[in-house]
Amino acid sequence: MKPFIIALFLLSALYSCGQEKHRRDNYFETFVEVKDSIDSIVVYKSAREMQTYHQGNKIKKYIISLGMEPVGPKQFEGDLKTPEGHYQINTRSRISTYHANLGISYPSMSDSLSAINQNKNPGGDIKIHGFPNNHAKKQEREFLNTDWTVGCIAVSDFEIDELYNWVIAYCPILILP
C-alpha cells in the first residue's frame, strides 16, 4: 500500500508542477448563490474582478476577462480596450453571439468628445457577456483565464445567466483601472 501512496503523491506533484497558474484556480466564490437583486456593480480591471452589490452590501465577486488590450481606458473603436468610468446597464438580450449579454452605456458624452478630438469613432456595443455561441467545452478554461474580448467584460455562461436574472434595470456600473 505504501508504494501506491508514494506513486500517487509523485504523480500529483508532477501534474501540479506542469500546470500554469490561472485566474480561476482555487476560486470558489463563483458558487455563491445570488439571492438579492443587484443594484450596483464595480469592476476592478487590474484585478480582473467584478463585485456586485445590493443596497451597499456585497453580493458576489466574479472573475472576469477583458479586452485584449486591457491597460488604459477605451478611447476609440477598435482599440481593444475595456472602458473606464461611470456607466449604466442599459440593455439586456438573450439574442447574442455570446450566450446572453447586459449592455453598458458606453460611450458617455466625454468618451465621444475624446474620440472625436482624435478624429476617431468612439465605438460602442460594450457588453458584459458569456462565451461565444458554439464554442467547444475545452475552450472554456482559456476563455476564463485570458483577456480575449474586443473591449467587453466576459464571464462564464452560468454567470451571465445569473447576472441577467438579478441585475436591475439601469444598474450603475463603475469600471476602475
- The closest of 80, 74, 66, 150 to 110, measured between CA atoms, is 74
C-alpha cell at 47: 484585478
Protein fold of 23-176: L,D-transpeptidase catalytic domain-like (2.40.440)
pLDDT of the residue at 38 = 97
Which residues in the chain land under pLDDT 50?
1, 3-21
84 touches 74 (CB < 8 A): yes
C-alpha cell at 18: 506542469
C-alpha cell at 113: 468628445
How far apart CA 100 and CA 123 sit, in angstroms, is 20
How far apart CA 164 and CA 34 sit, in angstroms, is 12
